[in-house]
Amino acid sequence: MRPVSYARATSVAEAIAALRAHPDAAFLAGGTTEIDLLRLDVVRPNALVDINALPLSRIEDLADGGLRIGALARMSDVAEAPAVVERFPMLMQALLLGASAQLRNMATIGGNLLQRVRCSYFRDVASPCNKREPGTGCSALDGINRGHAVLGTSDHCIATHPSDLAVALIALDAVVRTEGPRGARAFPIDEFFLLPRDTPHLEHPTEHGELVVAVDVPAAPIARRSLYAKVRDRESYEFALASVAAAMDVQGGVIRAARVALGGVATKPWRARRAEQILVGAPAQRDTYARAAREELASARPRQLNAFKVELAQRAIVRALETLAETGGPQ
Amino acid sequence: MDSATTSQVQLTVNGKPVTLELDTRTSLLDMLREHLGLTGTKKGCNQGACGACTVLVNNRSVNACLTLAAMCQGASVTTIEGISENGRLHPLQEAFIRHDAMQCGYCTPGQIMSGIACIQAGETYSAHAVREFMSGNLCRCGAYQNIVAAVLEVAEQAGGRR
């Protein structure tokens, strides 16, 4: 690891000022991705500003029945918060199906959203990678791309966004709150993640020194019956090949409302709006789910080794919606 | 805010206060092994994948390899060396011996620290629950069956089985 200076921030303002003073400085929270990437020389900050002492760990009720989750709340704490368990089961499941118990104790909510991709070429400084070094090319396009994305890709990057949590949050219309040089800002979470297009090195609309302080999850009665289903190569402690965050309101056999988002198959947490359009107003039955899934994946652009994900994602959607219809979601 | 490439860290390790001046890049794992001589905690992958470095920080299981020592200012760290009392092994250590829950032994300290966290969390209502909670601890010898049995036995003795 290259030499790097270290300082502990004691206030949000101090943390932001410290980054503004150093163009190559970075915030340090849980460290689970950042320390790893520092060691691999993939990220090269010359200064770390430890934000763990900032008062950003609270999980609070919002007046409308939603939740405000502090950016430094740890994954394990959020997963067992009663409000999350009762009101947003898909959020709880997405958290518990991610990483390991140890990593969940360390990793923060803000850091989870900002985690970098797991593309093996991005993580290998000897390989060309447009995300790591713009203009050098994408090694994954014709490389080992079994884990890569089929939705939201470009000719410059096909890396899958790795977060489970973000998939649930995008289904829940969460809002990412930041503080920075331009004061406080709020981003609808769909806008917080950028598509790679021809600038895969740009991942978020935030600027240097802008700190994620909280994630707001608006009230969503539909989410009380929701689930997060994750398909992977092994049963635990593995990234998704395909995952689905889903909630559905069925009355008299007809779907009144639906939320569907996908993970493991797209370059950003993927809200399946086309699928939702097809579901709403249609009978709650298998062929509806299959049609919604097929339409959502119609724009998929598979590569050599990940073409199976187009079918896998559809099956995952159908299974998630069938499970919701049968059981009303997780117990 | 002082910023430097060395940092002083004061913390408690296995109940004893420790003050060290360290290169900022020093991981908690290297601090334990190289600076304090506590080599029970193992370095396997050094990238958070294997769990051999699992210790408790403020009573929560973490990967010491992905934690900078500097981040542990004021923290209380418990390692495998700190779980016996008055020369008596921790019940989970005894259970690991009884169940032959190891072969080469390299992952064992991390398994035991993770097992202690598993029992504390009450995630011991089934073998599957133990396996899920401890999936961040790899054993390449494949002693999982006996590791799970040891954890379940201690949980039952402790009345922690739900």
Fold of B91-157: DNA polymerase; domain 1 (1.10.150)
Amino acid identity for residue A102 in this structure = Q
Q: Are B65 and B27 in contact (CB under 8 A)?
A: yes
Say if the Cβ atoms of B1 and A237 lie within 8 Å.
Answer: no
Residue in B closest to A47 by C-alpha:
B3
Mean pLDDT calculated for residue range A179-185: 96
Pick the CATH number of A5-50 from 3.30.420.40, 3.40.50.720, 3.30.43.10, 3.30.465.10: 3.30.43.10
First to last CA, chain A: 46
Tokens representing A265 are 């198959």
| Second CATH level (architecture) for the domain B6-82 | Roll (3.10)
Residue B162 pLDDT > 50: no
User: Which residues face B65 on adjacent strands?
Assistant: none
Mean pLDDT calculated for residue range B31-36: 98
Residue B160 pLDDT > 90: no
Amino acid identity for residue A3 in this structure = P
Residue in B closest to A25 by C-alpha:
B3
Fold of A225-327: Enolase-like; domain 1 (3.30.390)
Say if the Cβ atoms of A5 and B24 lie within 8 Å.
Answer: yes
**A327 pLDDT band (50/70/90 cuts)?**
confident
CB-nearest partner of A35 from B66, B132, B134:
B66
Find chain B residues with C-beta within 8 A of A236's C-beta: 131-132, 135
Tokens representing A252 are 């008299």
**A318 pLDDT band (50/70/90 cuts)?**
very high
pTM: 0.97
Distance (Å) from the C-alpha of residue A302 to the closest C-alpha of chain B?
Answer: 29
A34-49 confidence digits (pLDDT tens): 999 999 999 999 999 9
Find chain B residues with C-beta within 8 A of A10's C-beta: 1
Mean pLDDT for chain A overall: 97
Which of A14, A100, A108 best tests the B interface by mutation, with the highest count of B CBs <10 A?
A100
Residue B22 pLDDT > 80: yes
Domain with CATH 3.30.43.10 in chain A: 5-50
The rounded distance, in Å, linking the Cα atoms of A52 and A56 is 8
A63-95 confidence digits (pLDDT tens): 999 999 999 999 999 999 999 999 999 999 999
- Listed in sequence order, the residues at least 6 apart from B86 whose beta carbon sits closer than 8 Å to its beta carbon are none
Distance (Å) from the C-alpha of residue B4 to the closest C-alpha of chain A?
Answer: 5
Residue B87 pLDDT > 90: yes
Tokens representing A248 are 């559905």
Q: How many Cβ atoms sit within 10 Å of the Cβ of residue B82?
A: 20
Say if the Cβ atoms of B24 and A105 lie within 8 Å.
Answer: no
Structure confidence at residue B3 (pLDDT): 73
A237-263 confidence digits (pLDDT tens): 999 999 999 999 999 999 999 999 999
Give the number of A-B residue pairs with CB atoms closer than 8 Å.
100
The CA-CA-CA angle for residues B56, B154, A79, to 5°, reads: 50
Domain ranges for chain B, please list them.
6-82, 91-157
Q: How many Cβ atoms sit within 10 Å of the Cβ of residue B126?
A: 13
Structure confidence at residue A14 (pLDDT): 98
Identify which of A228, A217, A244, A242 has the alpha carbon closest to the alpha carbon of residue A329: A228
**A328 pLDDT band (50/70/90 cuts)?**
low
Q: Is A9 on the interface with B (CB under 8 A)?
A: yes
Q: CA separation (Å) from A78 to A44, A83, A283?
A: 30, 9, 35
- B contact set with A (CB within 8 A): 1-5, 7, 23-25, 27, 46-48, 51, 54, 60-63, 65-68, 70-71, 73, 114, 117-118, 121, 131-137
Say if the Cβ atoms of B7 and A39 lie within 8 Å.
Answer: no
Say if the Cβ atoms of B48 and A14 lie within 8 Å.
Answer: no
Say if the Cβ atoms of B48 and A32 lie within 8 Å.
Answer: yes
Domain with CATH 3.30.390.50 in chain A: 225-327
Q: CA separation (Å) from A292 to A95, A262, A313, B19?
A: 26, 13, 11, 60
The rounded distance, in Å, linking the Cα atoms of B137 and B107 is 7
